[in-house]
């Protein structure tokens, strides 16, 4: 009996090996480029160009980080990204939450058509409207201003916000809202005092996703902004000193700048991971 139980235990253990190996492979596949960028940022230029490549620096160099973190136009670009991404996220959440609640709770003709239109807009390629937007913003005098980025960012984050929050609002118990209406609450009071607190995990998760999308956006930022003082972080990394001269490309500094641009997002997710997970799993179990 002991032998049978032991063999059964081993068989059960080996059944999970392929899945565990797949997870390890996916994690390594996703993290190795990030780790290689970190290692490159700690090398000096001769070692970066050394062949064959060294997988760990013979001498850890912090000069690249010192150069990046003391470069005024780069630190300013991080602030610009924070302002633009935060503004676009706040506007999208404000408008999108109202739209999502209406689509989730109100009954009106063509509601499914509206949802399908929202999804279609979310899938529309941004490059297709790049030229018309540039001409329009030029006529309005918005080129090289943060507003020229906030408006398009709201355009492509709002559909994602509406679609995501609609699913969250649908999963909320309708009975609580009906009980509040019976007690004399207006629909606005129901939304503000009951719906928003209950949907907080979903709203928070959506806010993180929208912020990351706006922070990482490059196409519109590169097209509408040519003033270095208004660069966002992705554009600042792409326009780093010497990046247009292959022989003098400062890969160590570029790697350090890329990591510095990514770290705020990583820290944001790590700090609020519990809220994100609770938001992603909200409504998955109904009892």
Distance CA 228, CA 73 (A): 7
Distance CA 275, CA 284 (A): 15
Domain ranges of the chain: 2-41, 64-281
Q: Are 84 and 214 in contact (CB under 8 A)?
A: yes
41-46 own/partner pairs: CB under 8 Å, 24+ apart:
41/65, 41/252, 41/253, 41/255, 41/256, 41/258, 41/259, 42/252, 43/252, 44/252, 45/250, 45/251, 45/252
User: According to the model, what pLDDT value does residue 87 have?
Assistant: 95
The per-residue pLDDT for range 88-102, each reduced to its tens digit, is 999 999 999 888 888
CB-side neighbour CA atoms (13 Å) of 206? 29
CATH number, span 64-281: 1.10.3720.10
| Model confidence at 285: pLDDT above 50 | no
pTM: 0.81
Lowest mean pLDDT among 46-55, 207-216, 237-246: 237-246
- Written as one string, the DSSP assignment of 201-239 is HHHHHHHHHHHHHHHH--HHHHHH---GGG--HHHHHHT
The per-residue pLDDT for range 140-171, each reduced to its tens digit, is 999 999 999 999 999 889 988 888 888 888 88
User: According to the model, what pLDDT value does residue 286 have?
Assistant: 46
Q: What is the CA radius of gyration of the chain?
A: 24
Average pLDDT on 194-207 reads: 83
Confidence of residue 284 (pLDDT cuts 50, 70, 90): very low
Average pLDDT on 125-136 reads: 87
- Give the pair of three-digit tokens for residue 274: 């519990």
pLDDT above 70 covers a percentage of the chain that reads 86
* CA proximity to 276, closest of 202, 171, 198, 172: 202
Lowest mean pLDDT among 72-76, 206-210, 271-275: 271-275
The per-residue pLDDT for range 173-186, each reduced to its tens digit, is 888 888 888 878 78
């Amino acid at each position: 009996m002991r032998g049978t139980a032991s063999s059964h235990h081993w068989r059960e253990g080996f059944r999970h090996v392929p899945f565990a190996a797949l997870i390890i492979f996916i994690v390594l596949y996703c993290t190795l480029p990030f780790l290689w960028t970190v290692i490159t940022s700690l090398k000096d230029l001769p070692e970066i160009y050394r062949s064959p490549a060294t997988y760990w620096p013979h001498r850890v160099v912090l000069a690249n980080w010192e150069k990046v973190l003391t470069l005024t136009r780069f630190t300013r670009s991080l602030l610009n990204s924070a302002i633009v991404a935060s503004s676009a996220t706040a506007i999208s959440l404000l408008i999108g939450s109202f739209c999502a609640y209406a689509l989730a709770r109100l009954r009106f003709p063509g509601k499914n058509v509206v949802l399908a239109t929202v999804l279609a807009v979310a899938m529309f390629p941004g490059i297709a409207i790049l030229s018309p937007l540039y001409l329009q913003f030029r006529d309005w005098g918005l080129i090289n201003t943060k507003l020229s980025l906030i408006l398009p960012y709201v355009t492509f984050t709002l559909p994602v916000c509406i679609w995501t929050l609609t699913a969250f609002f649908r999963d909320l118990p309708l009975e609580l809202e009906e009980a509040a209406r019976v007690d004399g609450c207006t629909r606005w009071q129901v939304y503000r005092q009951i719906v928003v607190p209950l949907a907080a995990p979903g709203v928070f998760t959506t806010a993180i996703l929208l912020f990351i999308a706006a922070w990482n956006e490059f196409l519109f930022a590169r097209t509408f902004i040519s003033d270095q003082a208004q660069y966002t972080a992705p554009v600042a990394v792409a326009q780093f000193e010497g990046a247009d001269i292959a022989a003098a490309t400062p890969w160590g500094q570029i790697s350090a700048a890329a990591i510095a641009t990514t770290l705020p997002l990583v820290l944001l997710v790590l700090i609020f991971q519990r809220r994100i997970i609770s938001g992603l799993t909200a409504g998955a179990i109904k009892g």
